[in-house]
Structure 1
């Protein structure tokens, strides 16, 4: 059996679409279709059911993928290991939220540069766009706050991010001690809000988790980067909800004050995502391992 046909089959099985598999393989969609039909003729059994949106594997297709994929991935690993030694420098295309990628991921991966790794980072704030870019082959490794579905992408929980309700000291002084504990979110409606988007994603998530309500106020300052939100809040623009890792320094220096310390702080989980099978590539596997190891201390 032709290994090229099997590779195409496994890619289609993981992608769930001839079109998406073609993009990943660098082939035309008719070429992928032709290869799958050739393999089906050789086996004498259909491997996929064609549907309006993509394809669904038959039981025979699922069985073949389950048996063949590990061996193909192992062959890729053997081939790429040789290339890795000869190429000198391998490039890793990393995608993720701008703040987390800048503050956490890139510094963690920097030591790998001396081991022959080159880095190319793409800042994508929307998890859906990040996963779509990874599925299309634009990225090798992605950090998202959404777990992907389907067989094309594989995810591993990376770390949890604690969210903190903060404001400049003058706003905290105006509220006075214990006011939030007594009156809850009502008193916060008096304060301007700094956020990354008009929909107030961070504030809304915090309100739902801590106050079991929705924020009544609109955003006063909207800046699509949490680092800009931090600086605006520290300068006195209003309250904000920020990841603790990002605002820890400002809290320690007194530029920001935590307005509330709930018994169970709101959390958001980050996932490390790859296309299924690509951890067989040494440079991706190495970066994946380094990030997981570092995240244990985050």
Structure 2
């Protein structure tokens, strides 16, 4: 059986689409379709059921994928290990949210530069855009706030991020802890809000977790970077919900104040995501393991 046909088959199985598999393999869609049909003729059985959106593997297709994929991944590892030793330099394309990637992931990976790794990064505010780029082969490794579905991508929990409701000392003094405990969301919704998007994603998530409600406020300042949100909140523009790692130093310096201390603070999980099978690549494995070790202290 032709290994190239098996490689195409496993890629289609993981991608769930001839079109997406073609992009990952650097082939045309007709070429992928032709290879799958050739393999089906050789086996005498259909491997996929064609649907309006993508394909679904048959039971035979699933069985073949589970048997063949580990061996193909092992061959890739052998080939890439040899390439890695010969070239001495490998490039890792990392994608993720701008703030977390800038402040945590990229600094954590810098020790690998002495081992011949070079880094290229791409920033995306939304997890969908990040994961779509990874699935299309534009990135090697991604950090996302949602767990992807399907078999094309494999996700590993990286760390949890605590969210904190903050404002400048001036706003905190005007409110007072007693007022907040008694009236909560009703008082807060009368204040200006600083956020990253008009939909108020951070404030809405905090409101749902702490107050079991949706915020009635609208954004006074919208800045698509949490670092800008922090600076605006510290300058007195309004309240904001921020990851603790991002505002910890500002809290310690008194530039912003935590308005509430809920018994169970809202959390958001970050996932480390790769295309299934690509952890056979040595440079990607090193970066993946390095980030997981670093995240223990996050």
- TM-fit CA distance, 1:187: 1.1
- TM-fit CA distance, 1:44: 1.1
Say which SS state the counterpart of residue 82 (structure 1) adopts: helix
Q: Which runs of 5+ in 1 are unaligned?
A: none
Q: For the residues of structure 2 that align with 1:197 and 1:14, how far apart are their CA atoms?
A: 33
Q: For the residues of structure 1 that align with 2:275 and 2:140, how far apart are their CA atoms?
A: 7
Q: 1:187 to 1:48 in 2, by over 3 A?
A: same
8 Å Cα contact 2:177/2:259 also seen in 1: no
Q: For the residues of structure 1 that align with 2:276 and 2:183, how far apart are their CA atoms?
A: 49
Q: For the residues of structure 2 that align with 1:236 and 1:110, how far apart are their CA atoms?
A: 35
Say which SS state the counterpart of residue 220 (structure 1) adopts: strand
Tell me the alpha carbon deviations over residues 201-252 of structure 1, each in whole angstroms, 9 at most, x when there is no partner: 1001101110111111111000000000000000111100000000000000
Q: For the residues of structure 2 that align with 1:176 and 1:270, how far apart are their CA atoms?
A: 33
Structure 2 counterpart of 1:235: 235
TM-score by length of 1: 0.99
Say which SS state the counterpart of residue 219 (structure 2) adopts: coil
CA RMSD of aligned residues (A): 0.7
8 Å Cα contact 2:91/2:117 also seen in 1: yes
Structure 2 counterpart of 1:217: 217
Q: Which runs of 5+ in 2 are unaligned?
A: none
- TM-fit CA distance, 1:184: 1.1
Tell me the alpha carbon deviations over residues 164-211 of structure 1, each in whole angstroms, 9 at most, x when there is no partner: 000000000001232111111111123110000111110011011101
Q: Which runs of 4+ in 1 moved over 3 A?
A: none
Q: Does 1:117 align with 2:132?
A: no
Q: Does 1:295 align with 2:295?
A: yes
Structure 2 counterpart of 1:49: 49
Say which SS state the counterpart of residue 198 (structure 2) adopts: coil
Q: For the residues of structure 2 that align with 1:282 and 1:153, how far apart are their CA atoms?
A: 18
Superposed, 1:142-161 pairs within 5 Å as 142-161=142-161
Say which SS state the counterpart of residue 190 (structure 1) adopts: coil
Structure 1 counterpart of 2:254: 254
How many residue pairs align between the two structures? 298
Q: Does 1:174 align with 2:149?
A: no
